[in-house]
Amino acid sequence: MRTALLQSSGRPGDTGANIAVIDAAAARAARAGAELIAAPEMFLTGYAIGDAVPRLAEPADGPSAEALSAVAARHGIAIAYGYPESDGGHTYNSARLIGADGAPLANYRKTHLYGDFERTHFTPGDTPVVQARLGSLTVGLLICYDVEFPENTRAHALAGTDLLLVPTALMHPYRFVAESLVPVRAFENQMYVAYVNRTGTEGEFAFTGLTLLAGPDGVVAARAGEGEEILLAEVDPRLPAASRETNPYLQDRRPGLYGALAESALAEPARAAARTA
């Protein structure tokens, strides 16, 4: 499946303009034969929007979602994008996947919030694995900081994710995440990881770019530079299963050992509190 990764920061604070950016990029990607286009974290509104977060947040099925469903159907291409989601008095840093016919497929809420800005404005999600079927692929969603926790990608691997979409807002000086960590995540879980970053400077944040698609063999199939770009790359639906046969990390796991480690880690703070009481 040909996949397009939109590396851009759009126009922060202008949802309509950012929908237009996705529309134009989707048209271009579809003409190039892509079946899916993915945009970065918080693409609909911009990332560094401060106290405008609650004002610009929308329900998962809000007007922007309706507009992008129409874009997907018009161009015949699936769309994944990041946005601030409002629901029940809470605001989430979310990512949504729409099918090529405009139907909603999945909505994910970022589970691991990064930094003071996110912790001030967002509520963390509590569903670690969100998936949808896209053609012959099982597609999963994480957002930025989530992928830096190995437990998240392993949970997706165990649930059968073939292609993990990660809208992101990776900043300097952490370019090693895109350069080294993401390909390792793909290799250790035998899945594709599409890491789709913002670019340029936005408020106090300077984004690294370096959008990439890493394969189940850990090889980076395509990587962007630091400027705006639509990166096209091929996802072979046969490769994750073949890689899991060759590299048996998943079948060689010993979960009984890891459960004990997790219990020990959870118990240590309680023991420390008891010692100081």
DSSP 147: G
- Rounded Cα distance between 169 and 211, Å, is 10
Structure tokens at 16: 């309509």
Q: What is the b/e burial string over 9-27, where b = at least 16 CB atoms within 10 angstroms of the residue's CB?
A: bbebeebeebbebbbebbe
Retrieve residue 185's tokens: 């995540």
Note the maximum CA span of the chain: 66
Which positions are annotated as active-site residues? 41, 110, 144
Residue type (1 letter), 31: R
Instruction: Assess contact for 166 and 194: CB atoms under 8 A.
Output: yes
DSSP E strands: which ranges in the chain?
2-7, 36-38, 78-87, 90-98, 104-109, 131-134, 137-141, 163-167, 192-196, 199-202, 205-208, 212-214, 220-223, 229-234
Q: Can you state the angle between helices 63-75 and 15-31, rounded to 10 degrees? A: 20
